[in-house]
Structure 1
Amino acid sequence: MIWAAIFFLLGKGTGLKGQDSDSLASELSLVISGLKGALERMDEEAYVSYYSLDNREKERRAFNYFLHQKKIETVKVFLSLPKIDDFRAEVKLKILFIQATSVIIDVWNLHFQRRNGQWWVTGKEISPEGRVLYRLKIPGNKVEQAKRVEISHVDLKLVFTDAVCFYDNLPQMETALLIIGQGEIEFAPKVKNERHHLKLMFGQEQITDKLKYAYLRFSPSFYNRNITIEGINDHWSPSKSLLNKAYSLFVRHYSRSFAVENSLLNEFLSFIPQGEEVVFEFEGEKKGIMTYVFSPFAEEEINFFQWRDDRIVSLYSPEAVKGLKRMFVSFGHMFDVEAYQIEIDYNPNKYYLSGKARIEIVPQVDSLDSLKFKFHPNLEILKVYDQNKNELFFNRDRLRKVFYVYLLEPEEKGQSFYVDVYYRGEIKPEQLTSDVLYFPQYEEEVIFIQPRCETYLFSQSSYWYPSPPNDDYFQVELRAVFPPEYQCIANGEQVDQGELKMSERVEELEKIGFHYCNFKTRYPVKYISFIVGKFTNRGKKEGSIPIAYYQASDTGVYHREWLAEAEQIVDFYSRWFGDYPYEKLYLVQRLWPQKGGHSPASFVILNELPRIPGRLRFSKVSSPVDLSRWKGYFLAHEIAHQWWGQALSWDTYHDQWLSEGLAQLAAVLYLEKKYGQKAYRQIIENMTNTINKNSKVG
């Protein structure tokens, strides 16, 4: 019935009329459904019977070779919407050919013609970009004892003695290895700055530790070049407990390296690392689980991560080999995001968000066939469609907070197109890292209390919408729906608001009475932010740049001077740095268990710590960047980020310090205007002394 309805709608654009159109569309739906069933049953005779006589034998040979020579166990077929033009039609099939150890993903373009009162397949084109993903597992069929195992790569060496090596299950290919035994690690960067950094963290210029095991992912060529196994005893059988331990370790680490969730199958699938790509994970006796990543396609090839402290220990490019040039490829250079149209429904009482994001994209390369987005791992992706309403296949890597979308047809450079992403799930506000201290520092016995009325801020680090892989600037239209007791503030100007009065969709009936706000940016932004909370409007200054002050209901102090001072700061910065870059400036004061603020495009968040009066003792502030003793500094620093960090951003993270540095400089210049030269000299002298004192340490 569903297919009949779809073809009824499609038939209206075929040039046929009335019953003829409906009948032909219905007949075609039956043919496509039958062909799909024959493929999934792997029924050769039934499958080739849908082809025209002049194509039938050729397709029979191809069917036989592919299914039997490649030992296909299962076939799954996913249909896109067909295109019908009179007595011709075209439909794309996404087909998964599932083997014991791999999945072949093909896209077929089938051409149909109606001859002698029946629809026949008259042509088939297979996308040259067929993908193979692997059903990797450990233990496989091969287990060995070894006297010594050595893995060497750039600045890293792992050595195991009296070890057991568990190989993967892929035939004629080595791409994963689990080693259990007595091991040692030595990570000794040749780059001077990295050695210095390690000494600050660990007291020595290299990382050494005893290892319990190592899980390695690599390319087959890497295995041959960089891994040495000596004293092999392959006439040996591991105990059941050791096999169980190996499987448990594999399950723990598998999803973190070259493995993705698949939108068409409910299992993790793996791809094969290329060239020098590796991910090594190992557990040290002192330093816990660590990860070493080498990616020749990244801006910094080496990434060393410590899981216990949730920190990157080293991130750098190794010393260049004379005569060799490195290659860096980024998804961010492959396409630009031009605009977002986002509809969200957020219920703070349940931390539940549902949304639809229409993303307008312009390819920067010829024949763009895939997209990469950053996305929150807790949010479920329901469907992804192209602009022709074809459902798109995607893979997902929750650990790295990314997903990949594969287009049915490559898009040409410079030709704009869009995709729609539908998603939902439970998501709580991120604990943002503050970029400026406002309240003086407290001693350890400070007592924090949770706010009675929380605010819910979703910004850059929340990944609440499918974000570009690299920083980009784009226009935004946002429609936010939320319970009536809350208000919403977001990027851009509010162009509409109201109450949901009625709904034609059953799933939205419970939203009747909820409020909505529509926002639209006039100027490009580099990320999308919104905050939902219970606010009181403390005033607004109209003018070329509207400035308003919103205070969360349970914050303690009403800063009467903020509105006027914000206007003075904007005027001061505009004379120094150029016109204010956005449509408005809204100040949002909220209760939050973290000091500081955050400054998305067109509004700033100013945090106030929850506290119990009389139970706090202040300690002396020694940080040279904490200028909270100077009234007005907090506002000045956060507003400065509208220019430095928002309107003008950094190229790579190496330059991110410029955002904070220039915002701090702007704030100091404003404090000089407000408090005079003496205050300015005192601030600069304090900063200079701190730099001189710590310059040898780094």
Structure 2
Amino acid sequence: QILLQSGTITFFEPVVHENDTLFFGGYFEGYGTFRFSPSAQMEKDQLNRFFATDSLNREFEKILLFFTPTVYKQLTNKNSKSEIQGDLKDLQDEADKLYREVRRDGAYLYSFELLRNLIYPFGKEYFLASVKPANTDELIYLYNPYLREEVQFRKRFWEPGQNFIETINSYSQYNVDETYININGRDKKQLDTKTYSIDAQIDNNGNLTCKTEVTFEVISGPTQFIEVNLLPSLALDSIIDNKKNNVRFIREKLDVSFKNWETSQVGLLLDKPYMFGDTLQLTFYYNGEIAQKGMGELFIFAGAKWYPRYGFRDRAIFNMTFKTDKDYTFTSCGNKLSERKEGEYLVTKWNVIPEASNVSFSLGYMKKYLFEEDGLPPIEIFFSKELHNEIATYLAQDLIAIGKDMEKQIHEDISNATKTFNHYFGEYTNPKISVSEILMPHSEAFPGFIHLGFSTWINTDHWGNDRLLRAHETAHQWWGVGVGYQTYHDQWLSEGFAEYSALMYLQVVLGNEMFLDKLRDSRNNIYSARKFLFGSGAESGPIALGYRTSSTETAGDYGLIIYKKGAYVLHMLRNMLIDLKTMNEDVFLSMMREFYGSFRGKEATTQDFRRIAEKYAGIDLGWFFDQWVYHNYLPECEFKYNIEQDPTSGLYTAKCKVVTKKVPEGFKMYIPLELQIDNTSKAYIRLLIETNDFYFELPNLPQKPKKLVLNPFESVLAKINQ
């Protein structure tokens, strides 16, 4: 809610479209109030992390407004003082200051989206406000009906060396209750990407020159304004449509030192509106840096951002031709169709079928090592021993040893992880597995293709971290590449599942104790996030916040919450479904196989997974997902017990008490209790705890247990004092 209580609003000169005069913005000076309160509790909690309140009420003296004509009529009806008062130049300067702050947000093309809403109004009215409250940084509120999450609230973040716009809240107008069934909102995309035809040349300095032809099917019309994404380091020369006409486009400059980079967002204005069922073909011509050269090698940073992408994880068929230096080894996603020498160049052709949401390649002075084994597809390892021998000289100074035959060590983990996941989740479906070293710190998975970061090729550590990383990226062939995720709220279905799959692999090859140690490490890190000697910072957000778990108030939480806690959620489900008498896990594995089989090649949601989990659990799991995915409760339990013997029967009774703190009353946990009968035998029972003070007895025990242990398998993410 914005109240313009007293002052002057000056409207900008309107635009004219098809004889309609469209007022689109204005600047207000005076006295006003900005009030904002998100609808869902998850967003209220996020607002609280930044402002220590779940609803804002800020007074202001200046506000910049952008809107559609209906809002203009409301403003002119309620504000009679619309004439210009004071110096026009001063007003323009003040308005420009606020607009510069809006444009600082390189993630959005505000002027492009405003124009789209002016010409093609859709649903509720577009509205943007840039507010300058007294003594605080600028706030930006946006309602854009074309976005999947229509409501956006952002603030300027400034400290020495940093000045940017940070998203605080982002949510759908349809997410109005605490079930979070509609957390993903409604898909507003207007195009379905069908095919890519890519003709790329990469020189030996890491510069790309590319022609990419993309074919779309229009699934919602009229469509004349579209946005695509492209790596900021790539300069877009031109775009040509079906009729060989130049397509007008807009792209903002980025403030990057020594670089002439632009925003990844590109707004396209087509020459006419396209309607449902039409085919749209666009050809993009672009060039620029996708890698940096050092030590004679290319440090490729492009990932899957080197070609124009529409929508979120749109799947398409790819046909690609690459022209590269003949002295380099080149490999890519998909099937290699041909290879030939052309002067100083190597020309290779590839296709990626079935549809994929992201593709990439690797290039460098590498050698291919081919491993073939019955029951598995061929595994290709691309690796430069010569480079690592050179690096070994430098690492030896810090007493870091280079592992022997690293291509074999990498292959061993990729091969064994693939066998494990084939057995657990279902068969790997690509015709081969290609694994390439990239000279970057990160790793990333693509269809049938894995980028493994530099560090895991140095050696294999004794603590299981390298094996965990390799298995994690392999697991993405099932979770992330195989089963996709619909929005960032569901990204834990990729990263959390891949992380837990890797832990299951570690359990197979390094044993149960190493597996439990990794879970304990995750639990300790989750509980200790931003806990300092003299206080604590903002609490972590829930899994459903996705990438937004990492912010200026919660730095580093993305990996901790989406990967580690996401894995823990899957571990808790596994423990709920295990037969504690036989330790049989068929129910859990059947659940995972059905989820993989049902959603391979599709984008799944948390609710999709919940439905399958409920089928195998046989109960409503709404409480489980609410506690662990949509909230960030971290229970702390104190477990005490006393064992008494009946003097008449000689039988024993264990009288037990579990006190749970830091969670609301009614918080529910299925948690195993281990009875250590003697040094060689143990028994297990599963407790359902749903009160904060939980008392129970174990009567008629023929033998006095040596010890009782609550949560022996880390079955619940909880801190246990016992």
Question: 1:406 offset after TM fit, Å?
Answer: 3.0
Give the distance between the partners of 2:361 and 2:425, measured in 1 at CA.
Answer: 26
Q: Which residue of 2 aligns with 1:674?
A: 509
Contact 1:628–1:634 under 8 Å retained in 2: no
Q: Which residue of 2 aligns with 1:571?
A: 419
Contact 2:8–2:85 under 8 Å retained in 1: no
Q: Does residue 300 of the first structure (1) align with residue 155 of the second (2)? A: no
Give the distance between the partners of 1:336 and 1:167, measured in 2 at CA.
Answer: 37
Give the distance between the partners of 2:289 and 2:448, measured in 1 at CA.
Answer: 24
The residue type equivalent to 2:250 in the other structure is: R
Higher mean displacement: 340-349 or 374-383: 374-383
Residue of 300, 304, 310 corresponding to 1:456: 300
Pair 198,233 (structure 1): closer, same or farther in 2 beyond 3 Å: closer
Q: Which residue of 1 aligns with 2:338?
A: 496
Pair 474,170 (structure 1): closer, same or farther in 2 beyond 3 Å: closer
Question: 1:589 offset after TM fit, Å?
Answer: 2.3
Contact 1:218–1:272 under 8 Å retained in 2: no
Provide the aligned C-alpha RMSD in A: 4.3
Pair 182,664 (structure 1): closer, same or farther in 2 beyond 3 Å: same
Pair 685,635 (structure 1): closer, same or farther in 2 beyond 3 Å: same
Q: Does residue 358 of the first structure (1) align with residue 204 of the second (2)? A: no
Q: Which residue of 2 aligns with 1:615?
A: none
Q: Does residue 390 of the first structure (1) align with residue 236 of the second (2)? A: no
Contact 1:281–1:290 under 8 Å retained in 2: yes
Give the distance between the partners of 2:272 and 2:82, measured in 1 at CA.
Answer: 49
The residue type equivalent to 1:563 in the other structure is: H
Pair 258,493 (structure 1): closer, same or farther in 2 beyond 3 Å: same
Q: Which residue of 1 aligns with 2:49?
A: 200
Q: Which residue of 1 aligns with 2:428?
A: 580
Q: Does residue 696 of the first structure (1) align with residue 633 of the second (2)? A: yes
Residue of 196, 199, 204 corresponding to 1:343: 199
Give the distance between the partners of 1:328 and 1:357, measured in 2 at CA.
Answer: 31
Q: Does residue 549 of the first structure (1) align with residue 381 of the second (2)? A: yes
Q: Which residue of 2 aligns with 1:648?
A: 483
Q: Which residue of 2 aligns with 1:591?
A: 439
Question: 1:603 offset after TM fit, Å?
Answer: 1.8
Give the distance between the partners of 2:351 and 2:467, measured in 1 at CA.
Answer: 30
Contact 2:335–2:350 under 8 Å retained in 1: yes
Contact 1:166–1:177 under 8 Å retained in 2: yes
Residue of 2, 6, 13 corresponding to 1:168: 13
Question: 1:375 offset after TM fit, Å?
Answer: 3.2
Give the distance between the partners of 1:276 and 1:368, measured in 2 at CA.
Answer: 18
Question: 1:561 offset after TM fit, Å?
Answer: 1.1
Give the distance between the partners of 1:259 and 1:282, measured in 2 at CA.
Answer: 17
Question: 1:489 offset after TM fit, Å?
Answer: 2.4
Question: 1:292 offset after TM fit, Å?
Answer: 1.6
Contact 1:599–1:605 under 8 Å retained in 2: yes
Give the distance between the partners of 1:662 and 1:674, measured in 2 at CA.
Answer: 19
The residue type equivalent to 2:283 in the other structure is: V
Contact 2:102–2:140 under 8 Å retained in 1: no
Taking structure 1 as the reference length, the TM-score comes to 0.60
Q: Which residue of 2 aligns with 1:276?
A: 125
Question: 1:182 offset after TM fit, Å?
Answer: 6.4
The residue type equivalent to 2:54 in the other structure is: E
1:447-479 alpha-carbon deviations (Å, 9 max, x no partner): xx986633214233x2x2221313222221111
Question: 1:691 offset after TM fit, Å?
Answer: 6.3
Q: Does residue 232 of the first structure (1) align with residue 87 of the second (2)? A: no
Q: Which residue of 1 aligns with 2:313?
A: 471
Which ranges in structure 1 are unaligned for 5 or more consecutive residues? Answer: 1-151, 263-267, 431-448, 502-512, 613-625
Q: Which residue of 1 aligns with 2:288?
A: 426
Pair 655,523 (structure 1): closer, same or farther in 2 beyond 3 Å: same
1:59-99 alpha-carbon deviations (Å, 9 max, x no partner): xxxxxxxxxxxxxxxxxxxxxxxxxxxxxxxxxxxxxxxxx
Q: Does residue 664 of the first structure (1) align with residue 528 of the second (2)? A: no
| Structural mapping, 1:84-95, within 5 Å | none
Identity %: 18
Contact 2:236–2:286 under 8 Å retained in 1: yes
Task: Give the 3-state SS of the residue equivalent to 1:205 in structure 2.
Answer: coil
Give the distance between the partners of 1:477 and 1:404, measured in 2 at CA.
Answer: 24
Residue of 355, 370, 373 corresponding to 2:228: 373
Give the distance between the partners of 1:245 and 1:567, measured in 2 at CA.
Answer: 62
| Structural mapping, 1:526-541, within 5 Å | 526-537=357-368, 540-541=371-372
Give the distance between the partners of 1:377 and 1:158, measured in 2 at CA.
Answer: 39
Contact 2:372–2:378 under 8 Å retained in 1: yes
Pair 682,277 (structure 1): closer, same or farther in 2 beyond 3 Å: same
Give the distance between the partners of 1:180 and 1:554, measured in 2 at CA.
Answer: 63
Task: Give the 3-state SS of the residue equivalent to 1:498 in structure 2.
Answer: strand
Question: 1:405 offset after TM fit, Å?
Answer: 5.7
Question: 1:403 offset after TM fit, Å?
Answer: 3.2
The residue type equivalent to 1:300 in the other structure is: E
The residue type equivalent to 1:602 in the other structure is: G
> Who wins on radius of gyration, i.e. which is larger?
1
Pair 261,674 (structure 1): closer, same or farther in 2 beyond 3 Å: closer
Give the distance between the partners of 2:414 and 2:92, measured in 1 at CA.
Answer: 65
Pair 424,410 (structure 1): closer, same or farther in 2 beyond 3 Å: closer
Question: 1:482 offset after TM fit, Å?
Answer: 2.6
Contact 1:473–1:524 under 8 Å retained in 2: yes
Task: Give the 3-state SS of the residue equivalent to 1:524 in structure 2.
Answer: strand
1:604-643 alpha-carbon deviations (Å, 9 max, x no partner): 222235999xxxxxxxxxxxxx996455111111110111
Question: 1:569 offset after TM fit, Å?
Answer: 1.3
Contact 1:185–1:207 under 8 Å retained in 2: yes
Contact 1:375–1:467 under 8 Å retained in 2: yes
The residue type equivalent to 2:129 in the other structure is: F
Taking structure 2 as the reference length, the TM-score comes to 0.58
1:512-552 alpha-carbon deviations (Å, 9 max, x no partner): x1333222224321112123333243554476522122235
Give the distance between the partners of 2:295 and 2:136, measured in 1 at CA.
Answer: 36
Q: Which residue of 2 aligns with 1:92?
A: none
Residue of 355, 370, 388 corresponding to 1:524: 355
Give the distance between the partners of 1:634 and 1:247, measured in 2 at CA.
Answer: 48
Give the distance between the partners of 2:165 and 2:86, measured in 1 at CA.
Answer: 37
Pair 182,367 (structure 1): closer, same or farther in 2 beyond 3 Å: closer
Give the distance between the partners of 1:335 and 1:403, measured in 2 at CA.
Answer: 14
Pair 576,420 (structure 1): closer, same or farther in 2 beyond 3 Å: same
Question: 1:358 offset after TM fit, Å?
Answer: 2.2
Question: 1:385 offset after TM fit, Å?
Answer: 4.0
Give the distance between the partners of 1:380 and 1:631, measured in 2 at CA.
Answer: 37
